[in-house]
Amino acid sequence: MGGGAELPQRGREKRELLLFTPPHSEGEIDDLINEIKEEFPNLDVEFSQVAPDGKSEVPKELYQRATYLTTFNWLPPNAAAAPNLKFIQFLSAGVNHVAKHPIYTDSKIPLLSANGIHGPQIAEWVIMMFLNHSHKFVPLYEQQKQRLWNPATGKNVTDSPGKTVGILGYGSIGRQVARVAKAMGMKVLAYTASPRPTPESRRDDGFIVPGTGDPDGSFPSAWYNGLDKENLHEFLSQKIDLLVLAVPLTKSTTHFLSTPEFHLLNKSNPAGTYIANISRGQVIDQPKLIEALEEKLISGAALDVTDPEPLPKEDPLWEAPNVLVTPHVSGSSTVYAQRATQVLQQNLRRLRDGGRLINEVDREKGY
């Protein structure tokens, strides 16, 4: 053959590696993985299943070669140990659990959350707990277990039209709560960390499960913002019937609600605000929450998160009046893994096409 440059051969292209380290089995997402392989023919996919505590050993040769990492909480020891990573796709909505890891603190590898996949199931949990409370389901169920027929127990209930839901943290979860609450005839108030003065600023540019949420931010009748107590107190003064805590845990939101806030809620709504916390336990000053429940400053609380977790058997929160506690399960769903992989799939496309990655974490803000 004559001289000249040799034509590039497709088979010799440098292959990329997508490394999965989830606690679930790969069988749950087989169809999506096959879609990804077909769409990205130069991409190899490897699974290395880890324990829920993230302490499993992942073969060094895998993360050294990985181009993309999908994980709940396992990370390579540092960025130098995984020199080819273009992004890390987390399977959780928050990343505060790795905020002290060297990859978070000392690297610029894009960290992407799975924000947006939890909206439907968590919104249903919030509304379920609120309806349990307002329709007195718990005492009715206790009555059933005793085989008692006492209609008076279920007579003095309240329904939802005309009530106000205040959503502290108007992200994907809060937006789906708003959609459901609005359908029930409730007024929606939104609270965000930063101002959202324009229609464009109120849009949701993250991952959205089709047919859910509030993509254009049209459901709230009023918007509030800020991480200072003055703005928070203005929001809490709006006679809120259901207060939903959906903020990320940061230094600013730690113990965001404590005794002054519970007194303010009581002053603005003597009938009693019901609090649903699906963010993190530390957002509420838990001992002060117990006092607020005992003093009837609020009508009740539904908590899917506590401080600490697991909640110790001897903790007084278990016995606090009008409280419902679930073990951090509101985000669970049979389609969780599929939805999280769909976020990954969209981010692979966006990186390939030069678009903006979905759900990139702002390391300064912590979310």
Query: 260: Cβ–Cβ under 8 A, 6 or more apart, which residues?
Result: 229, 233
Where would I find the H helices in 237-335? 259-268, 286-294
User: Looking at 233, 328, 349, 350, which residue is catalytic?
Assistant: 328
Task: Indicate the DSSP class of residue 25.
Answer: -
Residue carrying the six token digits 């506590």: 306
Here the tokens at position 285 are 């000053």
Quick one: which of 29, 109, 122, 86 has its CA closest to 339? 29
Strand ranges, E, within 126-252 = 164-168, 187-192, 222-225, 242-245
Query: 344: Cβ–Cβ under 8 A, 6 or more apart, which residues?
Result: 36, 68, 70, 89
Is 309 annotated as catalytic? yes
Residue carrying the six token digits 């007084």: 316
Label residues 107-128 b or e (16+ Cβ within 10 Å = b): bebbbbbbbbbbbbbbbebbbe
Query: 180: Cβ–Cβ under 8 A, 6 or more apart, which residues?
Result: 123, 124, 127
User: Looking at 118, 179, 196, 280, which residue is catalytic?
Assistant: 280
Is 328 annotated as catalytic? yes
Q: What is each CA distance from 240 to 138, 162, 188, 232, in whole angstroms?
A: 23, 11, 9, 13
Strand order, beta sheet including 87-90: 43-47, 16-21, 68-71, 87-90, 111-112
* Distance between CA atoms of residues 27 and 44, nearest Å: 17
Amino acid sitting at position 145:
K
Quick one: which of 211, 115, 96 has its CA closest to 172? 115
Which residues are annotated as catalytic? Answer: 280, 309, 328
